[in-house]
Homo-oligomer: A and B are copies of this chain.
Amino acid sequence: MKKAIIIIALFLICNLALAQFAGVMRGQKEEPLPEGFKPASTNTFISQYPAVNAATRQAMFRVVAPAAQIVQVDLCGKKYNMTKDEKGVWTCVSDPQIVGFHYYAILIDSVAVMDRGSEAYFGSNWESAGIEIPEGPEGDYYRFNKNIPHGQIRSIDYWSEINGKERHINVYVPADYEKETKKKYPVLYLVHGWGEDENGWSIQGHTANIMDGLIAAGKAVPMIIVMPSGDIKTNSDVRTASGDISQIYINDLIPFIDKTFRTYTDKEHRAMAGLSRGGFQTCMTVLPNLDKFAWMGTFSGFFGFRGNNTIETAYNGAFKDPEVFNKQIKLFYMSIGTEERMGAKEAADQLINHGIKNIVYFESQGTAHEWLTWRRSLYDFAPRIFK
């Protein structure tokens, strides 16, 4: 019995030591949330804050920091000063936000840190806090639907000779992939944006929910979606990002996927799309390799005619002869959020006026350079390919 008591005591000590970090969250349970506010869907499961008011689209933040001098929230380009109560608990309520997913930071005496109430969302090259301002019922397309078959996201490390290192990818396979053991599938390569990583599309983007819904409804054909990293890590101490990511996609990743999954390997069954910098990487990868892709999409990310480049010279003259381009690419999809004003409409019009066909231009109403724009883009883009 004595030993049993020792076991229990050590277990408790150990867990209490671990639990010291969790104090903030325990404190949160004491007070009910203000009227109209609910915990954000992006929180850790135990956290009540940040909280969101779906009607006003405001977010409320809470930080326990009795010894701090200034605590702020940095959300969508605005710093909010938080107010401290007598217990050292800081709170603030934001302005109404654009719907969708936003990265944010807490500033403790000017140091930007992650809010411990949030789950981690890799963005801007760090594990950032994020908050979802709910879109309402129209956002059902990216939420889990228990009444339809579900695909899987497969987490895989593959060896890249070019990188000299294993690289992590996530691969969505549709619900029927394992039942139809002879069936081959088309493949969409889907790339994240600057400062994000290969998990962005499956976590912030809800790719599996979106595709499960589209496929179950017969709107999109069952397809494999490969979500790689758009950055290059190295084994050196400094770990600089360098090298040509397109070469890794073309020469290491595509052969690995075609070897590992049951894919169609012709260009009519291969697409690539990306958001922001990933849209640029899509152009940099697809345009010099028109024999390998027939479908492409840039979501908030076509940076075509820059520097000294014109529509004739951009991407080594890929658009110079519209007839050549039109024979190769069945869809050149460009999308943008109406609140980000990045000139995609003008670029699309320029291409159309130049004679480039098969362009689809899509605007996400009321959204910025953020994940809701890209969820909507995928939802609109995926039904258009491989048909």
A-side interface residues, number (CB < 8 Å): 99
Q: Beyond the given A14-B340, A22-B195, please list 15 additional residue pairs across the A-B interface where CB-CB is below 8 A.
A: A3-B346, A4-B304, A10-B343, A14-B369, A17-B77, A18-B123, A19-B124, A21-B74, A45-B239, A108-B111, A108-B113, A150-B158, A154-B155, A155-B155, A155-B208
The reply to whether B237 and A39 form a contact with Cβ atoms under 8 Å apart is yes
A264 is an interface residue with CB less than 8 A from chain B: no
A87 is an interface residue with CB less than 8 A from chain B: no
Question: Which one of A63-71, A288-296, A371-379 is at the interface?
Answer: A63-71
- In the bound complex, CA of A346 to CA of B3 (Å): 7
- In the bound complex, CA of A123 to CA of B17 (Å): 12
- In the bound complex, CA of A44 to CA of B114 (Å): 14
A14-35 interface (Cβ within 8 A of B): 14-15, 17-25, 29, 33
User: Per a CB cutoff under 8 Å, which of B46, B67, B239 touches A46?
Assistant: B239
A297-328 interface (Cβ within 8 A of B): 303-306, 309-310
User: Per a CB cutoff under 8 Å, which of B7, B22, B144, B241 touches A124?
Assistant: B22
Which chain B residues border A128 with CB–CB below 8 Å?
21
The reply to whether B114 and A114 form a contact with Cβ atoms under 8 Å apart is yes
Task: Give 17 pairs: A residue, B residue, CB < 8 Å, sorted on A.
Answer: A4-B304, A14-B369, A18-B103, A18-B124, A18-B194, A19-B124, A19-B195, A25-B125, A33-B237, A44-B127, A48-B237, A67-B69, A69-B69, A106-B113, A114-B127, A146-B166, A152-B154
A380 is an interface residue with CB less than 8 A from chain B: no
Q: Given that A17-B77, A67-B109, A155-B202 are known contacts, is A6 also in contact with B343, CB under 8 Å in the complex?
A: yes
Residue of B nearest to A29 (CB): B238
The reply to whether A303 and B22 form a contact with Cβ atoms under 8 Å apart is no
Contact with B along A89-105 (1 / 0, CB 8 A): 00000000000000101
- In the bound complex, CA of A341 to CA of B309 (Å): 68
User: Per a CB cutoff under 8 Å, which of B126, B127, B154, B341 touches A154?
Assistant: B154
A112 is an interface residue with CB less than 8 A from chain B: yes
Q: Given that A22-B125, A109-B69, A195-B18 are known contacts, is A303 also in contact with B46, CB under 8 Å in the complex?
A: no
Which chain B residues border A3 with CB–CB below 8 Å?
305, 343, 346-347, 350
Instruction: Give the 10 A-B residue pairs with the shortest CB-CB distance, closest first.
Output: A120-B120, A120-B127, A7-B343, A113-B113, A67-B110, A153-B155, A146-B159, A45-B233, A4-B305, A65-B111
A118 is an interface residue with CB less than 8 A from chain B: yes
Q: Given that A67-B109, A124-B21 are known contacts, is A303 also in contact with B154, CB under 8 Å in the complex?
A: no
Which chain B residues border A10 with CB–CB below 8 Å?
340-343
Which chain B residues border A120 with CB–CB below 8 Å?
114, 120, 122, 127
The reply to whether B127 and A116 form a contact with Cβ atoms under 8 Å apart is yes
The reply to whether B241 and A46 form a contact with Cβ atoms under 8 Å apart is yes
A231 is an interface residue with CB less than 8 A from chain B: yes
A217 is an interface residue with CB less than 8 A from chain B: no
Residue of B nearest to A114 (CB): B114
The reply to whether A126 and B25 form a contact with Cβ atoms under 8 Å apart is yes
- In the bound complex, CA of A156 to CA of B173 (Å): 11
The reply to whether B155 and A152 form a contact with Cβ atoms under 8 Å apart is yes
The reply to whether B166 and A156 form a contact with Cβ atoms under 8 Å apart is no
A55 is an interface residue with CB less than 8 A from chain B: no
